[in-house]
Amino acid sequence: MKNSAGAVVLFFILLFAYTKLAGPIPFSLNSVTTTKTDTFSVSGEGKVTMMPDIAVVSAGVTAQGATVTKVQQELNTKINAVTLAIKKLGVDEKDIRTSYYNISPTYDYSSSTQRVTGYQADSNLTIKVRKIDMVNAVIDASTAQGANEVGGVRFDVDDKTKAENQAREQAVNDAKSKAQAAAKAAGFKLGRVINYSEGGGAGPRPMMYDAAKSVPIAGGGAPTQVEPGTSELTVSVTLSYEIQ
């Protein structure tokens, strides 16, 4: 017992002497962290049918003449007449804007020398029709006042917020339903949603219109009778889940 006690005392004396001379004995602990990164992604889609409440009409005027001044005067006279006729139908001035204006020379290429024969002026108005039942009247008034290029009729919804929210909710529910079905079939559990992405938008119906024939080129219908139909708004989402 005396020998054992002496050995213990000697050990502590030597340890004390070492720490005084060499400093404290270093100790280290290694920390190991594991992170589970398994994820599962699924997409969903929502669709809402919308009834258009506005129309956008493009009405153009072309003028030709021997001088720039002459074609400019003719063009301005016609475009002002079209604008006035549209305003008389109740279209607000702020909903009529000039989207294109150009004056360029015309050439004669029949001889070896290029020769200017006159000038051509073009102008286009973009007209937002908020009373959708007035679309046909706007087209007829434009052509009656000299618009010889009605380049397109586009039906749309002025405020898509409500429809977008409905489609988004449908898309999320669709994605959740698919994720739950997949988890059940594959035998894993879904954790929290860790990522969300979204895409989609409305699909308005463009329609070309021939002012000379006064009938829609595409989309069918009787002469001067342009129908708005419906538009479909689609929202697609992707949800990413943690797998437990």
Cβ pair 103, 67 in contact under 8 A: no
Instruction: Residue 205: name the closest of 36, 52, 62 by CA.
Output: 52
Residues 144 and 170 in one domain: no
Residues 136 and 151 in one domain: yes
User: Tens of pLDDT along 142-186?
Assistant: 999 999 888 778 888 889 999 999 999 999 999 999 999 999 999
Look at residues 156, 182, 211 and tell me which one is the last residue of a structural domain: 156
Q: Is residue 222 part of a domain?
A: no
The reported pTM is: 0.63
User: Tens of pLDDT along 18-60?
Assistant: 555 555 555 444 544 444 558 899 999 999 999 999 999 999 9
Residues 91 and 126 in one domain: yes
Residues 112 and 141 in one domain: yes
Residues 169 and 151 in one domain: no
CATH of the domain at 80: 3.30.70.2970
Number of domains in the chain: 2
Residues 43 and 62 in one domain: no
227 or 176: which carries more pLDDT confidence?
176
Look at residues 121, 137, 156 and tell me which one is the last residue of a structural domain: 156
Residue 121: count of CB within 10 angstroms of its CB: 23
Instruction: Residue 194: name the closest of 44, 43, 45, 39 by CA.
Output: 39
State the DSSP code for 93: G
Give the range of the structural domain holding residue 67, as residue numbers without chain letter. Answer: 54-156
Q: Is the dihedral of CA 175, 180, 184, 188 positive or negative?
A: positive
Amino acid identity, position 226: V
**pLDDT band at residue 199 using 50, 70 and 90 as cut-offs:** confident
Residues 61 and 90 in one domain: yes
